[in-house]
Structure 1
Amino acid sequence: MRYKELGHSGVAVTDLAFGAAALGNLFTPVGDDEAAAAVDAAWNVGIRYFDTAPHYGLGLSERRLGAALARRPRGEYTVSTKVGRLLEPLAEATGDDLAQGFAVPATHRRVWDFSADGVLRSVEASLERLGLDAVDIVYLHDPDDHLDQALREAYPALERLRSEGVVGAIGAGMNQAEALTRFVRDTDVDAVLLAGRYTLLDQKALTDLLPAAAERGVSVVIGGVFNSGLLADPRPGATFDYAEAPADLLERALELKAATERHGVPLRAAALRFPFGHPAVASVLVGARSAAHIRDAAAMLDHPVPGPLWRELLTTGRMPAGTPTPHGD
């Protein structure tokens, strides 16, 4: 794995990152042993950047990730977590959390809170669940509907934590490029985490976010490169952004698959490699619920992707003209 510094923070990340949402039982349960094996497999293929959040399984992802990393040398890995949702315990579990996407008992309720105090409380609770004294990266998590408070209160609190050494790097993580561009332009974030908006099917981030990040020296971590499944296995019924893919998007994905396979490249490999064509991109975040999943992701990232494939995608209009592409292998 290659390493890259996030902005000017001194915090390094590997080009492939482990997204730990599935360790919080995203959609379906994952056993403790299976979760630990997935982290072990990530470590064995060289991944040293792990991302989690309180939201993922009402803290289960953080607890499992912390336990799996506890026996690793602390200076050898990077962990990011997020703030914006506080977990308040309920008097008793009331059903499950599947309405929020996680197959866990509903032992807590999420409370949106982008106040300075909310940031401090969230980081303190995350450190306890992770079993750490400090966290490497903290992102403001999905502040879409709380943007003013996040900029006015939460962001300055993160700046203070960074200056005190509790946090190494700070940023924001969202599923949209527009608001992240505001963070890049108007604050001193080290990095932003963008999910689903810089992929082989969706290049919205090219309009403003990625150019602004490159200009200001802010790193971009890209998540959702498979657009929740469509670019991993395009077929009828496949999902795009967690809903059944429309027919036109499915057709585009199948065309991309046919093109990549003509060049001897699995579509997954091209999807993983594509974001690295832009110089602002530091890492690609892949969610995994098993050792097999993360080993496959590492193998796909390592798969040669020849220059003629990228040229075909550009000349045939399957990607917009001028889209930066990785160097051919």
Structure 2
Amino acid sequence: MLGLLGQVLLQNGEAAQAVEVFHRALAEAGRWGDDSYPFAPTYMMLGHASACAGDEGAAIRALSEAAARFDRKGRAAVEEAAQVRLQLADLLRGNVRAADAVAVLESVLLDAAAPDLDERMLAQVRLDLARGLSELEEHRDAAEEYLRLADAVAGWEDQSTHTMVACEASLALARADRWEAVEAARERALAAHAKAPQWDQMVGTLREFAKLVIREHGSDRMDAALALLAEADAVGEAAERAGASYNSWFLRGGSHYERARCLAIAGRFEEALAEVERAVPAYEEGGRPAESPRAEAVRLAALIEGADLGRTQAAVARLTAAITRCQAVGLPEAAEILADLRQRIAASES
């Protein structure tokens, strides 16, 4: 009865009370030594309730115990054990414990029962593992996981997953400095996108490629970076023609912003300033959610204007207006960053 009450409380959003009731249920069952009691599912629900109550440490401990108890049931509970470990890994990553999350996910794949898992669950484990490895900057291992996953999902009827994974795989290869394989991976992503469009992700992938090309090769590959940004713009334009639902203001603003960064690295400051100034009105179309990237675009514009072009007064005026705007829309950290830059630019004039 206590276990059922805990479930009702959890479903009603009363997480803290549910945590207390689940603890009581487990204590009573343990006291009487009732092996028929569903300990593993109760620990799993305790983990959910603890997470909802904001106690992620307790949630991690409860989910770890749930996974261990599901393991004792052998192959009969392999799906449940894997599901709990997916949730556990997600919590660990959220607590900046990516290495622990990776270890948990690897344990799922190394289990002898892994081939018995549902293919979609197995794919989710590989995807989370690849992302965890990327967070640890183990880009080569991440790229290998993404490529295995891309092969696994290539035959799925729903090809949108293949597009998403192909995009992430191509970027992982670039971050791993495996440029000999990048072009083929990028073509695979574009081919998958043609079958099952993922507009936002495809544009973001091409834009990130441009950033990585500049980071790796500098201004020597400026033309290649600009070509990638033009390709990203073309994908966005195709989405508009198709009447697709996608984040237009974010994608257009991001392309202008990245193009400005590339031009600034090449020392083409006037062009860079003009480009980032195009990003600002693009972001303004997004309303309140766009205020943070808009503030960043203004920061870059002021940096180019004040530090590179020597127009300190104009840069200070630009920043002053942006600081006032950030304070008005509730972005105190952005306002502080802009104020610090304004102080440095003003000091450089004197």
TM-score by length of 1: 0.28
Decide which structure has greater helix share: 2
Higher relative contact order (Cα pairs below 8 Å, separated by 6+ residues): 1
